[in-house]
């Protein structure tokens, strides 16, 4: 089991390698600045920003595990990031690090 901080590399690089999505482009636009569900502890924009800053706390975020793409229109942000693909990649990375909901 890998430690929570992991030795696997920066989160943004892992997400990019897995999905081709560059979460560093997230600008926390209006679409992601609202809380989408009462069970989420941060907005999607905040989650992406923390991941882009390589903050491993994102893997324990309730937002990561409770995100419902049906509440987020088509899952695409204004900068073109495929939110659903990113969330799935981050969930997989969390599992590789031994973290699950």
Per-residue confidence of the chain (101 residues) as pLDDT tens digits?
A: 444 445 678 999 999 999 999 999 887 776 676 666 778 898 888 999 999 999 999 999 999 998 876 655 555 577 888 888 999 999 999 999 999 88
Q: Within a 10 A sphere around the Cβ of 71, how many other Cβ atoms?
A: 12
Whether residue 4 lies inside any domain: the answer is no
Total structural domains within the chain: 1
pLDDT at 2: 46
Domain annotation covers residue 31: yes
Q: Please tell me the pTM assigned to this model.
A: 0.83
Give the list of residues 6+ apart from residue 17 with CB closer than 8 angstroms, or none. none
Tokens of 49: 């920003």
Residue 1's pLDDT is what? 42
Spatial CB neighbours of 84, under 8 Å, sequence gap ≥ 6:
69, 75
Which residue range(s) make up the domain with 34?
Answer: 11-96
């Amino acid at each position: 089991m890998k430690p929570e901080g992991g030795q696997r590399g920066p989160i943004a690089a892992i997400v990019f390698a897995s999905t081709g999505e560059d979460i560093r482009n997230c600008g926390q636009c209006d679409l992601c600045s609202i809380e989408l569900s009462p069970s989420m502890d941060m907005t999607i924009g905040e989650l992406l920003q923390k991941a882009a800053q390589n903050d491993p706390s994102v893997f324990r975020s309730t937002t990561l595990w409770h995100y419902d793409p049906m509440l987020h229109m088509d899952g695409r942000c204004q900068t073109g990031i495929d939110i659903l693909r990113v969330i799935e990649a981050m969930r997989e990375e969390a599992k590789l690090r031994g973290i699950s909901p």
